[in-house]
């Protein structure tokens, strides 16, 4: 995946991994647990939610670590081009954003809870057209609502955050109606599960995932918490 180039020394990478409370071996073991998750072939009985917030690699993995999330699919939404490729989207000219479509059990986790996770897991929910080092319209934050109830809940939550005084700038997430979600190429699906040696994954993705997991361990599936010390 084309990401900003990180010229990390072995020392820097080790520091990053240790900041998650993990050794590289432990991170690989936790990532492998994601690969063992059993995903039903028929997902039609589950509810869906669709979010964009920077790189879809760690958005997918973060949500898949949450109890009640059945599966996450990386893809593209919010643009006009038909069946866009990763290379097309990364030019920033198609209007699409890297997006994750989530299948969840609504008897275990609610849509308002997903909204809370969505915002709290972002490095900076006020950042426009990006998250952290990923910059451009293809990395912008979007909540794709499927009905008026979801739109109202998302709008109310954004208003609450803006009024809270927690952030110096307004929340950047757009509210857009869900239209078409294009599944990303196979090599993007569950990417972190088998690519923990990728410097971007170690230095950005797992760091951000672990940061959220450390503050909400009660939400995390057993064996899926990158912040747990071994």
Taking Cα atoms as reference points, which of 11, 26, 27 lies closest to residue 202?
27
Report the SS3 class of residue 175.
strand
In whole angstroms, what is the distance from residue 12 CA to residue 15 CA?
5
Question: Virtual CA dihedral for 72, 51, 167, 210, nearest 10 degrees?
Answer: 10
In whole angstroms, what is the distance from residue 27 CA to residue 100 CA?
23
Write out the catalytic residue numbers: 55
Q: Residue 178 in contact with residue 145, Cβ under 8 Å?
A: yes
| Token couple for 77 | 């939404």
């Amino acid at each position: 995946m084309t990401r900003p180039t990180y010229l990390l020394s072995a020392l820097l990478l080790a520091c990053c991994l240790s900041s998650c409370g993990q050794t590289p071996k432990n991170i690989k073991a936790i990532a492998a647990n994601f690969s063992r998750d059993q995903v039903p072939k028929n997902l039609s009985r589950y509810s869906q939610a669709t979010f964009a917030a920077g790189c879809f690699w760690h958005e997918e993995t973060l949500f898949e670590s949450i109890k009640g999330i059945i599966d996450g699919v990386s893809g593209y939404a919010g643009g006009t081009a038909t069946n866009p490729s990763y290379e097309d989207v990364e030019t920033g000219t198609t209007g699409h954003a890297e997006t994750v479509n989530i299948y969840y059990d609504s008897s275990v986790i609610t849509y308002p809870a997903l909204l809370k996770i969505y915002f709290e897991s972002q490095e900076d929910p006020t950042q426009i057209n990006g998250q952290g080092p990923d910059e451009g319209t293809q990395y912008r934050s979007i909540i794709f609502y499927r009905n008026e109830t979801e739109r109202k809940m998302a709008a109310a939550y954004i208003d609450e955050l803006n009024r809270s005084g927690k952030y110096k700038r307004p929340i950047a997430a757009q509210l857009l109606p869900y239209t078409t979600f294009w599944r990303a190429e196979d090599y993007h699906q569950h990417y972190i599960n088998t690519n923990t040696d990728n410097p971007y994954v170690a230095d950005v993705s797992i760091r951000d995932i672990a940061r959220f997991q450390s503050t909400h361990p009660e939400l995390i599936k057993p064996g899926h918490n990158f912040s747990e010390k071994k």
